[in-house]
Amino acid sequence: MHDPVPASIAARSVRHVWHPCTQMKRHADSPPLEITRAEGVWLYDAQGRPIVDAISSWWVNLFGHNQPRIKAAIAAQMDRVEHVMLAGLTHAPVVELSERLAARTGLDHAHYASDGASATEIALKMSAHYWRNVGRPEKNRFIGLAGGYHGETVGALAVTDVALFRASYAPLVRIGATVPVPDVRAQPADVDEAEWVEQAAATLERHLQRHAGETAALIVEPLVQCAAGFVCYPAAYLARARALCTRYDVHLVADEIAVGMGRTGTLLACEQAGVKPDFVCLSKGLSGGYLPLSVVLTTDAVYGAFYDDDVARGFLHSHSYTGSALACAAALATLDLLDDARLRDNAALALRLDALFAPLHAHPRLRHARRRGLIWAWDVVDAPSDFSTRFAAEALQRGALLRPIGATLYCMPPYVIDEDAAVRLRDAALGALDAVAKW
């Protein structure tokens, strides 16, 4: 009699873990990869094989894995208090984080949650509730940009214009209005950037002329719509959207969940348009990729409309882990790392990587090369329908975690990637492109 061979972690995972954003049948013949250790930009599988984390573990990791300062901050906080409810109680990390975010953004009031989608929910609810509190309850609809992605809870799906994520739940969702985005790839040759922005802004204005009376807010992903396939649009559009929202008395919500925390070269992407939104949502990189944390920052004007003797005029939304002390400690350490001149370093790093990525920019199967800060994207010419999964598997075999979105290949590395790792990811991408082309 032999003891049965113990099942691998990967096999056990498929048996009991329902993986996110995954058709589980795909794992019938290719199980998920077990990661046993991570250090800097490198992940290590059970055999100790290094894999460069070219997408910052779904865009959350800013300063690498096993980051000493973030770890030390969490450990120190663990010895004081790990978590207490934030209703009626408070603690230093959440206060300090709120003060620092206020100083950096000019938005003085911070409401916390755990994930990006919850931040979207909070911003939408707060906006509509604001209008109710000021005597305009009919302003309760939302506008999003074409291809927008703001999370996948039922409320956030109202403004998430990605059919694959929304179609199955459409009957549950109060779908918002969608206006065009001035995607730089679609700009006709005989139309200059200013005119291209103006065309999109004019459509937004026509919508507002008709519907501002029932609209609470416009929600946008500033500069780059990552989940839509890294759609980039000019900063000037944000400035136009801000002006129109102000003119038509509609809130502007900046969903900086993916692009905030320095990813596009400034702490917030909307700084590049000189724009101050009514709400800013942050998550993903906020805690450096360590713990779930999100925040919605807003203005004195919004806050003031809730400040009252009447409990029901308050914003009663809560989550059990709102303002987790451990997550806030991680976020404070992350802000410290960003403050250490990292944003300036990032600009130099981006240029060095741009040079290393020249073979990708020039690749005959890639077009529309684009970069904003430390986000690169390329569109694959004539990509087969299963390009994304095949490419990801080929890249993984070559030591790079790269997961194209549809026919868009992108890379969004931690801010500490060095040239060796960048070369690994470039060569893995080139090899995977060849392999997929040959199939």
Ligand X SMILES: *Cc1c(COP(=O)(O)O)cnc(C)c1O
CB of 243 to ligand X, least distance (A): 23
Judge contact between 248 and 239, C-beta under 8 A. Answer: no
Measured from the CB atom, is 150 or 398 closer to ligand X?
150
Selected binder of ligand X within 38, 145, 238, 258 (CB under 6 A): 258
Q: Does 288 bind ligand X (CB under 6 A)?
A: no
- Does residue 399 touch ligand X according to CB under 6 A? no
Phi, psi (rounded to 5 degrees) for 199 = -60, -45
Please report, as a single letter, which amino acid is at residue 181.
V
Sorted by sequence, the CB contacts under 8 Å of residue 203 that are 6+ apart come out as 179, 180
Query: Can you tell me which of 264, 283, 287, 324 binds ligand X, judged by CB under 6 A?
Result: 283
Candidates 40, 64, 93, 116; binder of ligand X (CB under 6 A) is: 116
Minimum distance of ligand X from residue 418's CB (angstroms): 26
260 close to 333: Cβ distance less than 8 angstroms: no
Q: How far apart are CA 221 and CA 238, in angstroms?
A: 10
What burial class does residue 28 get, using C-beta atoms within 10 Å of its C-beta: 0-12 exposed, 13-18 middle, 19+ buried? exposed
Measure the CA–CA gap between 150 and 162, rounded to whole angstroms. Answer: 10
How many residues bind ligand X, per CB under 6 A?
Answer: 15
Shorter beta-carbon distance to ligand X: residue 283 or 388: 283
Separation CA 380–CA 409 (nearest Å): 7
Give yes or no for residue 121 binding ligand X (CB under 6 A): no
Among residues 160 and 299, whose Cβ is nearest to ligand X?
160
Segment lying near ligand X (by CB under 6 A), choices 42-50, 173-181, 219-227, 361-369: 219-227
**Does residue 271 bind ligand X (CB under 6 A)?**
no
Of the candidates 117, 197, 291, 293, which one interacts with ligand X according to CB under 6 A?
A: 117
| Of the candidate residues 115, 205, 379, 394, the single one contacting ligand X (CB under 6 A) | 115
Alpha-carbon span 199 to 205, nearest angstrom = 10
- 1-25 burial code (b ≥16 CB/10 A, e <16): eeeeeeeebbeebbeeeeeeeeeee
Nearest Cα to Cα of residue 49 among 437, 401, 411 = 401
3-state SS, 39-69, equals EECEEEECCCCEEEECCHHHHCCCCCECCHH
Binding mask 135-174 for ligand X (x = CB under 6 A): --------------xxx-----------------------
List the x/- string, 5-44, binding to ligand X by CB under 6 A: ----------------------------------------
The CB-nearest residue to ligand X is: 116
Q: Which is nearer to ligand X, 129 or 150 (CB)?
A: 150
Task: For residue 357, state whether it binds ligand X (rule: CB under 6 A).
Answer: no
Among residues 32, 9, 28, which one has the least CA distance to residue 401? Answer: 32
The smaller minimum CB distance to ligand X, of residues 97 and 159, is found at 159
DSSP 32: P
Nearer to ligand X, 205 or 221 (CB): 221
Q: Binding mask 358-377 vs ligand X (x if CB under 6 A, - otherwise)?
A: --------------------
User: How large is the angle between the packed helices 193-211 and 235-247, nearest 10 degrees?
Assistant: 20
Interface residues with ligand X (CB under 6 A) are 115-117, 120, 149-151, 221, 226-227, 255, 257-258, 283-284
